[in-house]
Each structure stands twice: as structure tokens, then as C-alpha cells.
Amino acid sequence: MSRDIISEWFYLYNKDIYHFLVYYMGSSDVEDLVQEVFIRAIKGFDTFQGKSSPKTWLLSIARHVGIDEIRKRKRSRMMQLFGFREEETAKETPEEILQLNETNRLLYEAIQSLKANYRDVIILRGIKELSVSETASILNWNENKVRITYHRALKMLQQGKGVFSL
């Protein structure tokens, strides 16, 4: 039963999850992470209470998957620094990874230069166009914090990398 529902949600929301993770991780190689989101959704289906939309719940899971992956990568870099060897990964530039046009590349770089809270709210509100309440639910913030942080993040983008209006 839960697998059928998650399967339906996959077809409805996998592109949203994919795009969120591309911006969050700074890499277009996020297919495994998208799968991880839906695996966690199947495992945690009993915790879905329906207080938010399925899309909001899945984006919240995606954010946690992204955080876990970033932590994993940091641990891997630390291991390499201390002499432990892991399989070398190609260090591609955002242009090669995302194959974006110049404007999108500049926006991507500007977003990546923001602190984590600003980056999260810009991706969810500005790029994924979620409502304030959906964003608050995903980030576990109150709606006022979402509004204030989004406003500040937009100001930082406008000051730092030219005029970007999301």
C-alpha cells in the first residue's frame, strides 16, 4: 500500500526533488540521492501525518538526504587529508556539471556563496517557488523566519553578484 502511494508520488515529484538536490548539492549527479529520498519515504511512510503536502514532506526528506551527503563528503575529504585513500572523484566545475548558460551559472555561483540558511530558503522559495508555509515546514522554521531570511538572502544576492531577482 505505502509503496504504491510512494510510487505515485515518485512520478509526480521526482523532478522537483531532483532539481532541489541539484541546487542544494551543486551537482547534477544526484540520481542516487533522489532514490535515497524515496527509499526513506517508504521506510518512514508511517510518520507522514498529512499535515503538509506530500511534496513538502518529500522536499524535507531531500534536504536531510542532502545534509547527510554533505557530511559524508566532508568526512571523506578529512580522511584524504589525513592520508587515507579513497577512490578519486573528478573535480568538475559547475559549468561542466550543470551545463548551464552564463546567467544560470552566475546565479548558481551566487547561491553557492550564500550561507546555508540563505541558500536553503532561496532554493525553496525562489527557485522551487514553494509557499512560505511549505518552506517553513521543510526547514522547521516559523513563517516569519522564512520571510525575513528570504528577504535578507535576496539582498545578499543583489549586493554580491549583480541584479538577480527571483
Looking up residue 100, the CATH number of its domain turns out to be: 1.10.10.10
d(CA 107, CA 38): 28
Let me know how long the chain is: 166
Least Cα distance to 126 among 73, 87, 81, 164 occurs for 164
Q: Are residues 60 and 102 in the same domain?
A: no
Question: Domain boundary residue among 56, 89, 122?
Answer: 89
Contact 114, 157 (CB under 8 A): yes
Roughly what angle, to the nearest 10 degrees, separates helices 31-43 and 2-25?
Answer: 140
Alpha-helical runs (H) found in 26-142 = 31-43, 54-81, 94-98, 102-113, 116-121, 132-139
d(CA 48, CA 27): 29
The model's pLDDT over 74-125, given as tens digits with 9 standing for 90+, comes to 777 655 654 444 444 445 555 454 454 566 667 777 888 889 999 999 889 8
The model's pLDDT over 46-75, given as tens digits with 9 standing for 90+, comes to 888 888 899 999 999 999 999 888 888 877
Domain residue limits at 165: 94-166
